[in-house]
Amino acid sequence: MKKTRPDLSVRIGLLRLQNPVLTASGTFGYGQEYAGLVDLNRLGGIIVKGLSLQPRPGNMPPRTVETPCGLLNAIGLQNVGVENFIADKLPFLRNLSIPVIVNILGQDIKEYRKLAERLSSVEGIAALEVNISCPNVKAGGVVFGTDYKAAARVTRAVRAAAELPIIVKLSPNVTDIVNIARAVEEAGADAVSLINTLTGMAIDVETRRPKLHNVTGGLSGPAIKPVALRMVWQVAGAVKIPVIGCGGIMTAADALEFLIAGACAVQVGTANFVNPRATMEIISGIEEYLVRHNFKDVKSLVGSLIL
Amino acid sequence: MVRGARSKMDQVTATVLENRFVASSVYRLRIEAPAIARVVRPGQFLMLRVGQTLDPLLRRPFSIHAVHDSRTVDILYRVVGKGTNLLTAIKKGGKLDIVGPLGRGFSWREDLPSLFVAGGMGIAPLFFLAQIITQNGTGAKTSVLIGARNKIELLCVKELKAMGLQVEAATEDGSAGKRGLVTDLLTRKIITSRPVLYTCGPYPMLRAVAHLAREHGLSCQVSLESFMACGLGACLGCVAEMRNGDLVRVCKEGPVFDAYEVAWK
Ligand SMILES: Cc1cc2nc3c(=O)[nH]c(=O)nc-3n(C[C@H](O)[C@H](O)[C@H](O)COP(=O)(O)OP(=O)(O)OC[C@H]3O[C@@H](n4cnc5c(N)ncnc54)[C@H](O)[C@@H]3O)c2cc1C
Ligand SMILES: Cc1cc2nc3c(=O)[nH]c(=O)nc-3n(C[C@H](O)[C@H](O)[C@H](O)COP(=O)(O)O)c2cc1C
Ligand code: FES
């Protein structure tokens, strides 16, 4: 008897994804960078590099350094700015058949609101991911991500300004991530995504200088996966809105851990650098797993952790 | 002028034909990768996955050193750390996961005299350019100035001479060629022939060559290095500062730049 293929589609509020695999912001450029290596239309969706109102030059190099099973980065949110994104990057993305999610970062609430308004007014954007958690910029960013009241304020402002589903991306650099997740849920977020990078640093002992020009940076990659998984599990147990898991996902098995822990979808980040085809392999691997374990759809697997 | 264009990149599994010790801590890796060999241009590079484990995590960038019969590609590498150490363990017949060719390579002029200035491993990409320029041979003079710490680390001299190039060497300990730095070989006599300069090597050397070129109004292309996480233009980690203040991606807008455009530190 021929088995029907499992249904990989998931819903994040009003947003429907053909499968639960998204690309994490800042690790997939504006999509085009991977066009020759990945069948972009097979992705669950693309989350583009964080956008600010004005173009940002970013930090001085060195901006990245490898650590055991991880990558430290202090890019400083270099990006083309919202207008250049709409003019130069969006036309390519619009031609894809998959949802495009735009990650936004403001210096203050007003900027978040302006970004949300501007991006709601153009065709081809499926949702906004509100970055309240970037550790690499001095003003804004992390301040919102570590204070639950500020996080709620940003969320409300974007909610009021945007006609799109909004995902709030949480910082792991907090004492109680559940507290922040609940605050943004209450403030009207359609979903939360976690985690952003963990702040870290590395020193060259020969020169006694920091390896990053910015001194500190954000740690990503397999090294952070257990921390990310624990946070996703805690948050998924505490909020009703969908949770998108992220942090150190390299393989289908990693992605499955996050789904079982309660994430409705996952983001693949650093893995794209190591293996540009990682997302494709993860999608196939999830499907194979569902078949092997007789799940008719991915939804049945979400939050199925046996304690 | 032959433009330093980009070529179509891909992720391929290549077969290792040879991974041979050359001298000191330098190895030559020869792989069969027709898809890459057919399209690659001098100055472009590959991102190699040196192992299947998670540490080291990232791919490592290596320049194309030579191409043979549009089928095989050579990489010349020095063992400096974890990744390059692992690379030495890969045996003939083994498989390597490669992304490439990447970046913007050299733009060259076959009708003008060329001068290559190589320091240490900097000869790796320049050798490929020399190969192409001499193959297409318009008879314009092509010379190589090459520097290394000592005689053992002076690479490719025999091969370059066999290609009919005029080679001058400098070593820091004087064990071969002139004692001193490769930039000491950039004499007035050489400069008066007004060659186009192509250079690759340690940063201080590149800077010195760039300054000389500027002083004498010579056209000069430099191949820069940077720590690269993706090599694809996606992470924005590898940037270098240009004179106009822009921070540009070495992996995408480079690694070869016009020396005049770089903000030398
Ligand atoms: C475009 C490009 C082309 C290159 N071509 C060649 C080549 O043809 N042959 C060759 O031998 N090397 C080349 N390199 C340098 C090579 O990529 C590094 O030596 C290699 O990544 C080191 O890996 P590792 O794991 O052995 O060292 P690690 O353990 O990562 O580091 C060991 C030491 O090497 C230094 N290092 C690490 N990465 C780099 C880097 N990207 N550039 C310079 N120093 C580094 C570190 O600072 C450290 O001191 C190239 C680099 C770039 C960016
Ligand atoms: C080079 C780099 C750039 C990043 N840029 C952004 C960004 O602009 N906005 C954002 O919200 N997250 C950014 N991130 C964080 C990732 O989206 C992701 O949350 C994090 O890397 C953890 O996932 P990973 O371990 O799979 O990479 C960046 C990460 C890296 C490595
Ligand atoms: S190495 Fe990622 S952009 Fe250049």
Q: Which ligand is nearest to the CA of A266?
A: 2
Confirm or reject: Cβ of B257 under 6 Å from ligand 1. Answer: no
Whole-angstrom CA distances from A2 to A5, A283, A296, A299 are: 9, 21, 14, 22
Q: For B28-79, what is each residue's pLDDT tens digit? A: 999 999 999 999 999 999 999 999 899 999 999 999 999 998 899 999 999 9
Residue A136: per-residue pLDDT: 53
Report d(CA A249, CA A10) in Å as an integer: 18
Residue with tokens 């109680």: A176
Q: Is residue A69 annotated as part of the catalytic site, yes or no?
A: no
**Amino acid at the residue B15:** T
Q: How many CB pairs under 8 A join A and B?
A: 102
**Amino acid at the residue B69:** D
Q: For ligand 1, what atom is nearest to the CA of residue B61? A: 17
Q: Is the pLDDT confidence value at A143 over 90?
A: no
Identify which of B57, B59, B234 has the shortest CB distance to residue A27: B234
Q: How far is A185 from chain B (nearest CA, A)?
A: 30
Q: For B237-262, what is each residue's pLDDT tens digit? A: 999 999 999 999 999 999 999 999 99
Q: For B180-200, what is each residue's pLDDT tens digit? A: 999 999 877 778 889 999 999
Determine, for residues A29 and B232 on separate chains, whether the beta-carbon distance falls below 8 Å: yes
Determine, for residues A64 and B227 on separate chains, whether the beta-carbon distance falls below 8 Å: yes
Burial class (CB in 10 A: 0-12, 13-18, 19+), A42: middle
Residue A140: per-residue pLDDT: 47
Give A135's pLDDT tier (boundaries 50, 70, 90).
Answer: low
Q: Is the pLDDT confidence value at B136 over 90?
A: no
Report d(CA A165, CA A162) in Å as an integer: 8
Q: For ligand 1, what atom is nearest to the CA of residue B77? A: 11
Find all residues with CB under 8 Å of A187, minimum gap 6, and list them.
Answer: A151, A152, A153, A155, A156, A159
Residue with tokens 């009207």: A188
Confirm or reject: Cβ of B249 under 6 Å from ligand 1. Answer: no
Higher per-residue pLDDT: A16 or A136: A16
Q: Is the pLDDT confidence value at B3 over 70?
A: no
**How many angstroms does the Cα of residue A273 sit away from the middle of ligand 2?**
12
Give, using CA atoms, the residue closest to atom 35 of ligand 1: B80
Q: Is the pLDDT confidence value at A39 over 90?
A: yes
H or E element, residue A114: helix A109-120
**Strand ranges in B7-138 using DSSP code E only, listed in sequence order:** 10-23, 26-32, 45-49, 60-63, 66-68, 72-78, 95-102, 114-119
Whole-angstrom CA distances from A120 to A117, A161, A241, A285 are: 5, 8, 21, 35
Chain A environment of B235 (Cβ under 8 Å): 26-27, 64, 73, 75, 273
| Tokens (6 digits) for A167 | 């995902």
Q: Is the pLDDT confidence value at A134 over 80?
A: no
Q: Mark residue A58 as left, alpha or beta (left: phi above 0; alpha: psi -120 to 50; beta: remaining).
A: left
Residue A242: per-residue pLDDT: 98
Q: What percent helix, strand, coil does chain A show, rounded to 5?
A: 35, 20, 45
Residue A3: per-residue pLDDT: 66
Chain B environment of A78 (Cβ under 8 Å): 236, 239, 247
Give A94's pLDDT tier (boundaries 50, 70, 90).
Answer: very high
Angle separating helix axes A252-261 and A225-236, nearest 10 degrees:
30
Report d(CA A127, CA A100) in Å as an integer: 7
Identify which of A60, A78, A274 has the shortest CB distance to residue B58: A274
Whole-angstrom CA distances from B205 to A208, B117, B119 are: 24, 9, 7
Q: For ligand 2, what atom is nearest to the CA of residue B230? A: 1
Identify whether the C-beta of residue A214 lies closer than 8 Å to the C-beta of residue A288.
no
Report d(CA B76, CA B90) in Å as an integer: 14
CA torsion, points A41, A47, A50, A52, in degrees to nearest 10? 80
Nearest of B249, B24, B245 to residue B121 by alpha carbon: B24
Q: For A237-275, what is each residue's pLDDT tens digit? A: 999 999 999 999 999 999 999 999 999 999 999 999 999
Report d(CA A231, CA B5) in Å as an integer: 46
A91 in helix, strand or coil? helix
**Amino acid at the residue B200:** C
Report d(CA B110, CA B112) in Å as an integer: 6
Report d(CA B61, CA B45) in Å as an integer: 7
Q: For ligand 3, what atom is nearest to the CA of residue B227? A: 1
- Mean pLDDT score across all residues of chain B: 93
Identify whether the C-beta of residue A158 lies closer than 8 Å to the C-beta of residue A106.
no
Mutational test site, ligand 3, from B235, B247, B253, B257, max ligand atoms within 8 Å of CB = B235
Asked if A71 is an interface residue toward chain B (Cβ–Cβ < 8 A), one would say yes
Residue with tokens 């106009």: B244
Find all residues with CB under 8 Å of A60, minimum gap 6, and list them.
Answer: A213, A214, B241, B247
- Give the B-side interface with A, CB within 8 Å: 8-11, 49, 54-59, 97, 99, 226-227, 229-241, 245-247
Chain A environment of B226 (Cβ under 8 Å): 61-62
Q: For B79-105, what is each residue's pLDDT tens digit? A: 999 999 999 999 999 999 999 999 999
ipTM of the complex: 0.94
Nearest of B76, B78, B127, B106 to residue B222 by alpha carbon: B106
> Domains in chain B, please, with CATH?
2-102 (2.40.30.10), 107-223 (3.40.50.80)
Chain A environment of B56 (Cβ under 8 Å): 66
Chain A environment of B97 (Cβ under 8 Å): 275
**How many angstroms does the Cα of residue A302 sit away from the middle of ligand 1?**
42
Laid out side by side, the sheet with A216-220 consists of: A64-67, A70-73, A216-220, A198-201
Identify which of B11, B54, B236 has the shortest CB distance to residue A69: B54
